């Protein structure tokens, strides 16, 4: 991908046509992504679980992962085209934790990549990302989950909160998460990262009831037995492994297609809603509010796209991801307020209300944004990271190793 604007090549254009035609033929109307993913039916879920395997077989599920690990071996431009076409076709995305996958790619042995990573890339399995504990969120080094040796195995005991994942039967297959392996070692050198099979004896997953929905979970582990070869990296290297995942989580891979449906809906609402014989967008206040939202979203999109371009070109991504992350967390909240200013109470009507603009998409997104300042380590922490990366903090911080900086694709 080149960040300078150039028309798509012939090969890219025909790739887009191939993807579009295939998706149009393959996804029936009733299987398209619902506005609220919590409304996904059992039938849709099972259909998409199979569909993910088909997408993977074409190399489209994780296009930039190498073929060796079940990916497409494709470029960042292909990923952008795929994301655009997936969005257009109503494709259900997500489910797997890509940040955990990056860390396995960087730190796993070849045997572990084949065993843990490949089934994730090919859509056979799903992993969740299990870091946060009741007393340690922003301060990941404060985790208390313990891993004790028992012969060749480890016995893991602890608990987690806020762990994201779909509430679907059979989800997840694996948990990726750190545990203290050596309580006497100094902070940051006392933990390992494990792939924990689900189900396991002593492991319990429970839904959390949050405003945004029920996609977060409590996890309880009571002497859960994990084989020694499920440790990714060394038993004192967990901090580095977790940081490779967090680097991606904090924006270090950027985004191939940073579409902003909230903004698109706001602009269309201002353009098309009639009030007092005119469209809402003719009102100077609405115009100004909508334009401000547009500008902020556009800047956010450019920042995320630039990081993606740098990542794919194996350039050193330093502060760029953190900058896009801070801007993204803050401008989407400002835009949520602007949406309410323009739509008024209509912004709060849910998916079942016939008067809800855009079938209730605003309500779904506004409730999701309630956790915005906390998910992924909090906005304040992102500001700390940004300050360290641009050199205005007491301490400096270098980016963690990613598949890009390790030359592994992904």
Ligand X SMILES: Cc1cc2nc3c(=O)[nH]c(=O)nc-3n(C[C@H](O)[C@H](O)[C@H](O)COP(=O)(O)OP(=O)(O)OC[C@H]3O[C@@H](n4cnc5c(N)ncnc54)[C@H](O)[C@@H]3O)c2cc1C
| Site for ligand X contains 233 (CB under 6 A) | no
Q: Which one of 64, 80, 112, 164 is in contact with ligand X (CB under 6 A)?
A: 164
Report the distance separating Cα 158 and Cα 163, nearest Å: 14
Residue, CB closest to ligand X = 137
* Residues β-bridged to residue 204: 220
Which one of 172, 258, 360, 377 is in contact with ligand X (CB under 6 A)? 377
Q: Given the rule CB under 6 A, which of 88-96, 166-174, 222-230, 375-383 is the region that contacts ligand X?
A: 375-383
Task: Confirm or reject binding of residue 328 to ligand X (CB under 6 A).
Answer: no
The only residue of 71, 98, 233, 376 in contact with ligand X, by rule CB under 6 A: 376
Quick note: the x/- pattern for ligand X over 200-229, rule CB under 6 A, is ------------x---x-------------
As given in the structure block, the two tokens for residue 5 are 């604007």
Q: Are strands 231-232 and 216-226 parallel, antiparallel or unpaired?
A: unpaired
Residues 98-137 binding ligand X (CB under 6 A) are 129-132, 137
Count helices and strands in the chain by DSSP H and E runs: 12, 10
Q: Is 371 in the site for ligand X (CB under 6 A)?
A: yes
DSSP 104-158: HHHHS-HHHIIIIIHHHHTTS--EEE---BTTBSS-GGG---EEEEETTEEEEEE
- Of the residues 21, 46, 138, 211, which one makes contact with ligand X according to CB under 6 A: 138
Measuring CA to CA, which residue among 96, 99, 65 is closest to residue 82? 65
For position 73 contacting ligand X by CB under 6 A, the verdict is no
- Name which of 138 and 390 has its Cβ closer to ligand X: 138
359 binds ligand X (CB under 6 A): no
146 bridge partner residues: 157, 180
CB of residue 162 to ligand X, shortest distance in Å: 4
Burial of 364 (0-12, 13-18, 19+ CB in 10 A): buried
DSSP character for 393? Answer: S
Looking at the Cβ atoms of 62 and 129, the one nearer to ligand X is: 129
User: 3-state SS of the chain: helix, strand, coil percent to 5?
Assistant: 50, 15, 35
Q: Under rule CB under 6 A, which residues in 384-403 are in contact with ligand X?
A: 384
Of the two residues 35 and 370, which places its CB atom closer to ligand X in the complex? 370
The verdict on 375 binding ligand X (CB under 6 A) reads: yes
Q: Report the interface residues with ligand X, using CB under 6 A.
A: 129-132, 137-139, 162-164, 212, 216, 371, 374-378, 380-381, 384
């Amino acid at each position: 991908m080149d960040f300078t604007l150039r028309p798509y090549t012939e090969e890219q254009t025909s790739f887009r046509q191939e993807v579009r035609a295939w998706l149009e033929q393959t996804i029936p109307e009733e299987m398209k992504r619902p506005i609220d993913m919590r409304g996904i039916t059992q039938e849709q879920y099972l259909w998409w679980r199979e569909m993910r395997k088909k997408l993977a077989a074409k190399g489209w599920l994780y296009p930039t992962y190498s073929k060796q690990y079940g990916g497409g071996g494709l470029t960042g431009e292909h990923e952008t085209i795929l994301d655009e076409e997936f969005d257009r076709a109503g494709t259900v995305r997500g489910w797997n934790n890509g940040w955990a996958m990056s860390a396995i790619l960087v730190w796993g042995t070849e045997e572990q990549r084949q065993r843990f990573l490949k089934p994730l890339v090919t859509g056979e399995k799903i992993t969740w990302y299990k870091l946060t504990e009741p007393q340690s969120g922003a301060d990941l080094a404060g985790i208390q989950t313990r891993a004790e040796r028992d012969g060749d195995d480890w016995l893991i005991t602890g608990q987690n909160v806020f762990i994201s994942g779909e509430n679907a039967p059979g989800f997840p297959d694996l948990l990726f998460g750190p545990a203290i392996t050596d309580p006497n070692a100094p902070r940051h050198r006392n933990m390992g990262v494990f792939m924990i099979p689900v189900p396991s004896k002593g492991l319990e997953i429970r839904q959390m009831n949050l405003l945004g929905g029920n996609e977060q979970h409590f996890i309880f582990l009571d002497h859960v037995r994990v084989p020694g070869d499920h440790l990714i990296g060394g038993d004192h290297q967990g901090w580095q492994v977790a940081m490779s995942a967090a680097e991606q989580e904090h924006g270090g891979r950027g985004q191939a297609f940073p579409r902003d449906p909230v903004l698109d809906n706001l602009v269309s609402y201002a353009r098309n809603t009639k009030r007092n014989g005119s469209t809402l967008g003719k009102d100077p206040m609405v115009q100004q509010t909508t334009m401000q939202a547009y500008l902020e979203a556009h800047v956010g999109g450019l920042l995320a796209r630039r990081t993606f371009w740098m990542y794919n070109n194996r350039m050193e991504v330093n502060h760029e991801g953190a900058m896009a992350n801070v801007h993204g967390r803050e401008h989407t909240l400002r835009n949520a307020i602007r949406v309410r200013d323009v739509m008024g109470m209509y912004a709060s009507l849910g998916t079942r209300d016939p008067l809800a603009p855009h079938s209730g998409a605003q309500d779904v997104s506004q409730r999701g944004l309630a956790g915005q300042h906390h998910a992924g380590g909090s906005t304040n922490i992102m500001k700390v990271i940004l300050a360290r990366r641009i050199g205005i903090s007491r301490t400096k911080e270098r980016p963690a190793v990613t598949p890009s900086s390790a030359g592994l694709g992904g």
